[in-house]
């Protein structure tokens, strides 16, 4: 069959043997040949913007938005972030300061360790 066919990406004319993007090395194939990766844990399509790496986007989806059990268990165990500036530690349970009522990690739980902002009150019960 040698009927002329127009490529929907580059709009050049080809025969049926060469109409496929790979057969004529189409320079505009990226416009039409779009694939959406699927999360391997929750089987949800993960949208990828042009120029982004699909592996990186799927990895971010697993870390943040994935609804699968392994991802949620990993994410929700340590959700109590330390409020001390610069500290990125997270704890399983809340450790609330008695004076400023903010959450801290075990290292910064004492008022002297997190520069407690409760002005005008003693830093400890002892005085």
Q: Is the per-residue pLDDT at 12 higher than 90?
A: yes
Rounded to the nearest integer, the mean pLDDT of the chain is 81
The whole-number average pLDDT for the span 25-48 is 84
What share of the chain in percent tops pLDDT 70? 81
Q: What is the per-residue pLDDT for 35?
A: 76
Say whether 86 sits in a helix, a strand or coil: coil
For residue 20, count other CB atoms closer than 10 A to its CB: 12
The boundaries of every CATH 4.10.1110.10 domain in the chain are 79-119
β 5-6/13-14 pair status: antiparallel
Q: Flag whether pLDDT at 33 surpasses 80.
A: no
Whether the pTM exceeds 0.75: the reply is no
Cα separation values, 20 from 1, 30, 36, 56, 97, Å: 14, 13, 20, 29, 66
pLDDT per residue as tens digits for the range 73-127: 555 566 788 999 888 888 888 899 988 999 999 999 988 888 887 644 555 555 4
- pLDDT over 90 (residue 16): no
Instruction: Please name the CATH architecture into which domain 79-119 falls.
Output: Irregular (4.10)
Q: How confident is the model at residue 6 (pLDDT cuts 50, 70, 90)?
A: very high
């Amino acid at each position: 069959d040698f009927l002329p066919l127009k490529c929907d990406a580059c709009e050049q004319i080809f025969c049926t043997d060469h109409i496929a993007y790979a057969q004529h090395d189409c320079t505009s194939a990226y416009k039409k040949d779009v694939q959406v990766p699927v999360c391997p844990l929750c089987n949800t399509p993960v949208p990828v913007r042009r120029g982004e790496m699909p592996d990186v986007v799927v990895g971010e989806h697993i870390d943040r938005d994935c609804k699968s059990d392994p991802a949620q268990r990993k994410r929700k165990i340590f959700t109590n972030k330390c409020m001390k500036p610069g500290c990125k530690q997270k704890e399983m349970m809340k450790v609330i300061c008695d004076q400023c009522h903010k959450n801290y990690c075990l290292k910064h739980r004492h008022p002297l360790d997190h520069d407690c902002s409760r002005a005008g009150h003693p830093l400890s019960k002892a005085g």
